[in-house]
């Protein structure tokens, strides 16, 4: 997989890609991630990438021209499966979207800033709009990092045990069951005996039951889906 991220602040993005599972995925050539500074694609004297909105109002709007030039340059070298815009009014990210996007070969992610991008960018370039929640951030960089983490970990060969991702919360519209590790008894707080019984069919049955109960208690809306 190749991920190209268009941003005004590449330095804000780099750190999440330099540690842990994502770092190992990049080093293992499972994914290639490139950051593109939008200011390199503007022709204005002071590297301007934003301007006041037509019709007046507060805030600034990211201009279409540098975005067009950056996307067009990337498209010269390869075909992209998706051009994704991180925006608060996009479709809210969920596990189904992450699963689907992890199967893509090449994607572009555009990080918004200020009041957002010129609507013509969304009308003519963007193929998918994604939000990570009903709130507003200063820019799309942190949202892009969250989104990338959610898909990179699903690429085959990234996790040490690929079956681990299959038991994550939301994979089957259920929250994950409670998990425990050693010691089995800590200050009198004991692990459920079934988990130390060695009876794997019973353990799996217990986990399924607990996942259902936890989902019903904490996220009953998932059961409606």
Strand-pair partners of 91: 130
| Domain boundaries, given as residue ranges, for the chain | 2-152, 167-224
**pLDDT tens, residue by residue, 44-67:** 878 899 999 999 999 999 999 999
Q: Which CATH superfamily is domain 167-224 in?
A: tRNA(m1g37)methyltransferase, domain 2 (1.10.1270.20)
**pLDDT tens, residue by residue, 144-200:** 999 999 999 999 999 876 556 655 667 788 998 999 999 999 999 999 999 999 999
Angle at CA 29, nearest 5°, toward 34 and 129?
A: 45
Q: How confident is the model at residue 134 (pLDDT cuts 50, 70, 90)?
A: very high
Q: Under CATH, what is the fold of the domain 2-152? A: Alpha/beta knot (3.40.1280)
Q: Please report the pLDDT score of residue 167 as a whole number.
A: 56
Q: Please report the pLDDT score of residue 166 as a whole number.
A: 59
| Residue 100 contacts residue 1 (beta carbons within 8 Å) | no
Report whether the peptide linkage leading into residue 54 is cis, meaning its omega lies within 30 degrees of zero: no
| Residue 35 contacts residue 23 (beta carbons within 8 Å) | no
| Rg of the chain over all Cα atoms, to the nearest angstrom | 22
């Amino acid at each position: 997989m190749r991920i190209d991220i268009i941003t005004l602040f590449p330095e804000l993005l780099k750190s999440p890609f330099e540690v842990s599972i994502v770092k190992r995925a990049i080093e293992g050539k499972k994914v290639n991630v490139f950051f593109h500074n939008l200011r390199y694609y503007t022709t204005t004297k002071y590297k301007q990438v934003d301007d006041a909105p037509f019709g007046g109002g507060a805030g600034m709007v990211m201009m279409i021209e540098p975005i067009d030039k950056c996307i067009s340059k990337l498209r010269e070298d390869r075909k992209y499966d998706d051009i994704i815009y991180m925006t608060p009014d996009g479709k809210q990210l969920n596990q189904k979207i992450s699963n689907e996007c992890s199967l893509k070969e090449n994607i572009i992610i555009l990080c918004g800033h200020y009041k957002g991008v010129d609507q013509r960018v969304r009308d003519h370039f963007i193929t998918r709009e994604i939000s990570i929640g009903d709130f507003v951030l200063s820019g799309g960089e942190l949202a892009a990092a969250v989104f990338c983490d959610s898909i990179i970990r699903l690429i085959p060969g990234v996790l040490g045990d690929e079956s681990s991702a299959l038991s994550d919360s939301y994979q089957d519209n259920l929250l994950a069951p409670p998990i425990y590790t050693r010691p089995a008894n800590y200050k009198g707080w004991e692990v459920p005996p079934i988990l130390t019984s060695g009876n794997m069919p019973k353990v799996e049955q217990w986990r399924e039951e607990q996942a259902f109960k936890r989902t019903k208690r904490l996220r009953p809306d998932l059961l409606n889906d």
